[in-house]
Amino acid sequence: MPAPPSCQIRLIAPSGYPHDREAMTRGVQRLRDAGCTMDGLEVIDRTELRYAGSDAQRMADINSLATLDTLPDIALSIRGGYGATRLLEHLRYDALRERLTGQPCVLVGHSDFTALQMALYAKSGLVTFGGPMLGPDFGAHRLSPLTWRHFWRTLSAPHGNASWDCGETEELAVEGPLWGGNLAMLCSLLQTPYFPRIEGGILFVEDIGEPPFRIERLLYQLHLSGVLKQQRALILADFSHCRPAPYDNGYDLADGFKQIRSIAGIPVLSGMPFGHEADKFTLPFGVPARLRVVGRRASLDFHGYPHLRQAHEPSMA
């Protein structure tokens, strides 16, 4: 069924400019066809160097959420890239916490958006979502049915689930805060005020375009800094275009992941659809979750996140 008129989406552009304008147009039209009201379209036209506007403009995309008379149902990032890190020192964390806590307003994105998720959780305690973005996902030539369904089902209920084939044979049942996102962004904020201190968590990570040895090195950063040993489990999601070079002499991602499994000291799962591929789950950052593995099937249950006022799942346009 179509989304109700009350489903209002406000576009935000905290990172790179929209290099694929056709994808942005497709994304806007798809969401409108599903019954959503689209605001903030002007961010699609902003460009300054490699960014979607000046630092002040991109910062205002986030800070304005603290002063809007009427909050949108969804604040949707248009794309990733780089640029969110430049905003972290200038966000109005107290005002955002006061305005958004307990409100049915969800902030969604992935990739570079991870920096904002970490900062908002660390400084304001706000729960945001790793999930699809306007251009890469809703504007793709082929919209992923899994991405579309999981997005609306998660945002339309106070509790959610994600399950996938993980290939693991050992049964597992752990509970803890669900958190994570782009691996490079996570590591870039280590030892800063914007890296949340989460113990006993379920950490998921993804990345794109990094050689396998760099992925191993980033995971070692989390290990050597003590972050991994404080978690209950690590989930390796999608690592897109992370190809070895001739010098690697056969070393690839599988070798790097094998090494991390040998030193992490916690269960390490793989195969979860999340990252820079077409299929991705929508996952709340920082909420209570339970991870189970039975018969090579992993399942995540989570709750306690902001969700839409009316439960609905729009049909795919």
The answer to whether the CB of 130 falls within 8 A of the CB of 180 is yes
In Å, how far are 9, 74, 124 from 105, measured between CA atoms? 10, 6, 15
Answer left, alpha or beta for residue 257, where phi above 0 means left and psi between -120 and 50 means alpha: alpha
Active centre residues (catalytic): 111, 206, 276
The total of other beta-carbon atoms located within 10 Å of residue 32's CB is: 14
Query: In the numeric block, which tokens belong to residue 107?
Result: 């902030």
Identify whether the C-beta of residue 231 lies closer than 8 Å to the C-beta of residue 202.
yes
d(CA 246, CA 256): 16
Residue written as token pair 């570079």: 112
Phi, psi of 109 (to 5 degrees): 175, 180
